[in-house]
Amino acid sequence: MKYFPLKTIIFCIIFIPLLSTITVTGVEKYLNILYKSKITNNIIQQIKESEKKSVSPDEDIGNIDTVTIQNAIDTTLQSFSQSDIFFKYFNLLPNTCVKIKDSGKDAKDIEIIVAIKHNTILSNLILIVYIGVSLSICCFFYKNAISKLNKEHLKKREAISNLMKDEQEYLDKLEELKKEREILTQKLAQAKSDYEQDMKIAKTAEEELFNEIVQLEKKVEENTELQREKETEIEELKSQLEKVEKRKGVSKKRKSSDGVEKRFLNLYKNIDMNKKAIEGLLDLDDEDMQLKAEEVVHQLNDDPSGVLVKRKVFTGKKNKTASFEVLFAYNGRLYFRNIEGNRIEVLVIGTKNSQDKDMEFLHSI
């Protein structure tokens, strides 16, 4: 069997009888040890009573005749078979023999051997116990094998049931796919028919479209030529407009420069503003920077000593005169020098970006 091990069957068939025989032999040895001394002492006691003389267990009984010894043995074994539980219920077979010693004398020695008969209660009981153990082992493995087989059969049934369900589902899906295939076939035929009609319409539309494209290309060429003419006119107008704006800007800047110069002459009596300084002030993009620059001019007019000078710059080509650099609004630069009459001339107003050009101007004056 798949789940019933062959080793177990071999063990039950071969080793159980062998173990039974070994057990019987062991019981016999134990009983010989247990009963030998008892039976021998009892036989000697019987001989004492029959001969009316004192004989110890270790004393030679060679002078006693064999008939007396045999009668004592029979009496002892009969007494044991009636009173002892093993002899009475388990039918033990004690064997006795009288040995002649090799001392040359007519000496005798008694030997008691207790044996278990075959097919007796004790031997059969031992065999039944081992048979029961064997059957228990076989029964255990048999039940275990049956349980495993039942589980395996149950799994197979479940697997078969699942496979049948899957088969039915696949058959249903196959039927649905067949129906969908028929529908798709019809749709494909209709699509082919529609495609052919659309191709005819498209071909007609393509021809019409080609004609329209030719006409549109002509119009595009005409529009492109017209656009070029308009762009040329626009460029000319832009050029004229820039010239007009430049003229207005120069005029406006001149007016603004003249206005600033008049305002500074009226407000700051101790300051002379160089035209380069006025132009630099007007070129400042940030109105806040213009206000910061005018604050420096105001301080120079009122209290020149309160103005924080960053460094001294020597200007002029021939006569090197000292000019001073003042920072404002972080990026702003103002250059001035002292002139006659305790007056101050503001030479240049600019930024860090215009510093190189400003320094060239300072060295050129």
In a domain, 295, yes or no: yes
CATH code, domain with 289: 3.30.2310.20
In a domain, 180, yes or no: no
Rg for the chain (alpha carbons), in Å? 72
In one-letter notation, the amino acid at residue 335 is Y
pLDDT score, position 103: 44
Label residue 149 by pLDDT band (50, 70, 90).
confident
Could you give phi then psi for residue 310, rounded to 5 degrees?
Answer: -80, -50
In this structure, of 24-28, 160-164, 357-361, the range with the lowest mean pLDDT score is 24-28
What range defines the domain where residue 62 resides?
6-144
Mean pLDDT across 228-247: 73
Percent helix, strand, coil in the chain (nearest 5)?
Answer: 70, 15, 15
CB 121, CB 10: distance < 8 Å: no
Label residue 326 by pLDDT band (50, 70, 90).
very high
In a domain, 207, yes or no: no
In a domain, 221, yes or no: no
* Tokens found for residue 21: 């025989």
Residue finishing a domain among 98, 124, 144: 144
pLDDT score, position 327: 92
Beta bridge partners of 335: 325, 348
Cα separation, 129 vs 136, in Å, equals 10
Label residue 251 by pLDDT band (50, 70, 90).
very low
* 164, pLDDT greater than 50: yes
In this structure, of 31-40, 73-82, 165-174, the range with the lowest mean pLDDT score is 73-82
In a domain, 78, yes or no: yes
Residue finishing a domain among 112, 144, 176: 144
In a domain, 152, yes or no: no
How many percent of the chain have pLDDT more than 90? 9
Label residue 47 by pLDDT band (50, 70, 90).
confident
Cα 210 to Cα 49, 135, 206, 217, 221, distances in angstroms: 155, 103, 6, 10, 17
Mean pLDDT across 161-184: 90
In a domain, 240, yes or no: no
CB 20, CB 130: distance < 8 Å: yes
The span from the first CA to the last CA of the chain, in angstroms, equals 125
Identify which has the larger pLDDT, 152 or 320.
152
Cα separation, 258 vs 278, in Å, equals 9
Identify which has the larger pLDDT, 229 or 349.
349
Identify which has the larger pLDDT, 336 or 128.
336
What is the total count of domains within the chain?
2
Whole-number mean pLDDT of the chain? Answer: 77
In a domain, 183, yes or no: no
* 54, pLDDT greater than 60: no
Label residue 138 by pLDDT band (50, 70, 90).
confident
Residue finishing a domain among 113, 144, 175: 144
Mean pLDDT across 360-364: 86
In this structure, of 152-156, 231-235, 319-323, 348-352, the range with the lowest mean pLDDT score is 319-323
H or E stretch at 339: strand 332-339
pLDDT score, position 101: 44
In this structure, of 39-48, 102-111, 308-317, the range with the lowest mean pLDDT score is 102-111
* 334, pLDDT greater than 90: yes
pLDDT score, position 91: 58
Beta bridge partners of 313: 323
